[in-house]
Structure 1
Amino acid sequence: MMKDTDTKVPHRGHELLDVLARLGGSARNGQIAQVMDVSEETVRRLVKSLAKQGKVERVHGGTYLRGSQDAPMYSGALEQLPKEKTRIAKGVMSLIQDGMAIFVNVGSTTTYVAEQLRELKDLIVVTNSISVVAALADHNGSRVFLAGGEVSRAERGSFGRAAEEFSKQFSYDALIIGADAVSPDLGVLANNPREAELTRALTGHAQRVIVAADCRKFTATAPCVACPMDKVTDLVTDGDPPDPLAEALNRAGARTHITSKSGRITTRTPLPDAAEQ
């Protein structure tokens, strides 16, 4: 039986609640607007009304279902550094072309990347991220494949051997990955061992490995090696890497793309003889 408070929720409000449920309990307002095919202003009005009824909670730039177990992850990751992550996402998008086959992994920054990739068309996208599927499926002629496996609600993604075996069936123009930390000695690091295992399994299936990471990750630590430095072809970030990391990227032959507040992207290419040093 429908509760009295539910009768006050308009049709669009119910639709928004359904979208949040499908996205694992929380999402950025921009992503909700994309899925519902409405403006962000419409989403904000609906969210404001639903919040008054106790159906959702609002955070900066996003919304989560009241009582959702995923709320801490959203407010702790997706909400942080939205401007910086948007710039990084635009930098990644500039490296991708229409019709490419790409893999995009789970993560807050890669969620922003997926939103920017909506500008492209006819992509073949393989992902283990529910958020990436929601952003790109049935849009601009792109085909999106969700790798199967055990689903983690907190990370909004699937992991395990099934996800790995499915993803390895494809050959990719680019592997787009986030990072919990970036080490000059070890490469791209992750907190989740299953995420790291999936990334390691796919580096040999892609022509390019594009790492999207804000500059805070240069001083962070994480326990699992997801991608050795010599497999990285591109790093897209929002600040200068410290000298040891810059030297490691140079030795690996990786390009560094630094995004500025003005929207300009500065690309640093490795020295020709860097690999021989």
Structure 2
Amino acid sequence: MSSDSPVLKPRQATILELAQKKGFVSIDELTQTFNVTQQTIRRDINELCESGQLRRYHGGASPSSTVENKDYATRQILCLEEKRRIARAVAQVIPDHASLLINIGTTNEEVAKALCQHKGLHVITNNLNVASIMSSNPGFEVVIAGGIVRPRDRGIIGEATIEFIRQFKVDFGIIGISGIDEDGQLLDFDYREVQVARAIIDNARQVFLVADHTKFGRNAMVRLCHMSRIHALFTDKQPPTAISTILAESGGALYIAPAGS
């Protein structure tokens, strides 16, 4: 720690350590861990955010970075139940015998699992995990995009991937995102992944964005597109007013997966 860095209280140091280890810590969890009030935890998180060490989200905080995403193993377990609820909400809207483009992301992988009971889906994906999940249904046609396989999450990216996706026009494009700015910009960390997501948006009749509440207000350095390009947002909590307003003004639908669904 440099001489200019603020001196952390022991509890704040532990909060920061937990956030770095888990990728996200909730206010409720920290309240129970330290046996203090929510107001005390919020004050600690606010101070850590003001010093640039954490970034505040609805219900908690994560380590602050606009350059590097959390590792894949962390993202798999972060907000897992919320992602499963979102996935079930998406599955209720997708009809049998639909055609889909599905991109990289742990929420998309939960969507793939939730869709496995459908009939006759035609799926094009640049996510080897999605392909593996959905190919377990013999009634599905699953097509894998060509390109460079990214070892950390088995996503496929590159110019060959983009050109392959441009050959199709599907009913639904299902995309994930790393952050949603309050001005409506969808943000991510890898410009190559973003280029593939743009191709999916351009070649889907309807675009569904799947994003849990930790993505609201989260920063990343690569811009995908504006939320006005999205036909529906599937999430687990009410978005901030600015984001809800942008979605409504652009005619996008909002699906909030209820707890216990």
Query: Post-superposition shift, 1:140?
Result: 4.2
Residue number in structure 1 paired with 2:243: 245
The alignment of Structure 1 onto Structure 2 pairs a total of residues equal to 192
Residue number in structure 1 paired with 2:126: 128
Relative to structure 1, the CA distance from residue 227 to residue 94 in structure 2 (aligned partners, 3 Å threshold; closer, same or farther) is farther
**Residues 184 and 243 in structure 2, CA contact (< 8 A), matched pair in contact too:** no
Residue number in structure 1 paired with 2:160: 162
Alignment partner of 1:94: what SS?
helix
**Residues 203 and 227 in structure 1, CA contact (< 8 A), matched pair in contact too:** no
- 1: distance between equivalents of 2:192 and 2:142? 22
Residue number in structure 2 paired with 1:174: 172
Give the aligned residue type for 2:195: E
Give the aligned residue type for 2:90: V
Alignment of 1:114-263 (within 5 A): 114-263=112-261
Query: Post-superposition shift, 1:228?
Result: 2.0
Among 84, 87, 93, the alignment partner of 1:86 is 84
Alignment of 1:46-125 (within 5 A): 73-125=71-123
Give the aligned residue type for 1:168: R
- 2: distance between equivalents of 1:224 and 1:74? 18
- 2: distance between equivalents of 1:188 and 1:245? 11
Query: Post-superposition shift, 1:73?
Result: 2.8
Alignment of 1:9-48 (within 5 A): none
Query: Post-superposition shift, 1:201?
Result: 2.1
Query: Post-superposition shift, 1:209?
Result: 0.6
Query: Post-superposition shift, 1:121?
Result: 1.4
Identity %: 32
Q: TM-score, normalised by structure 2?
A: 0.71
* Unpaired runs of at least 5, structure 1: 1-71, 264-277
Higher RCO (CA < 8 A, seq sep 6+): 2
- 2: distance between equivalents of 1:189 and 1:77? 16
* Unpaired runs of at least 5, structure 2: 1-69
Q: TM-score, normalised by structure 1?
A: 0.67
- 2: distance between equivalents of 1:227 and 1:202? 12
Aligned-residue Cα RMSD (Å) equals: 1.3
**Residues 103 and 172 in structure 1, CA contact (< 8 A), matched pair in contact too:** yes
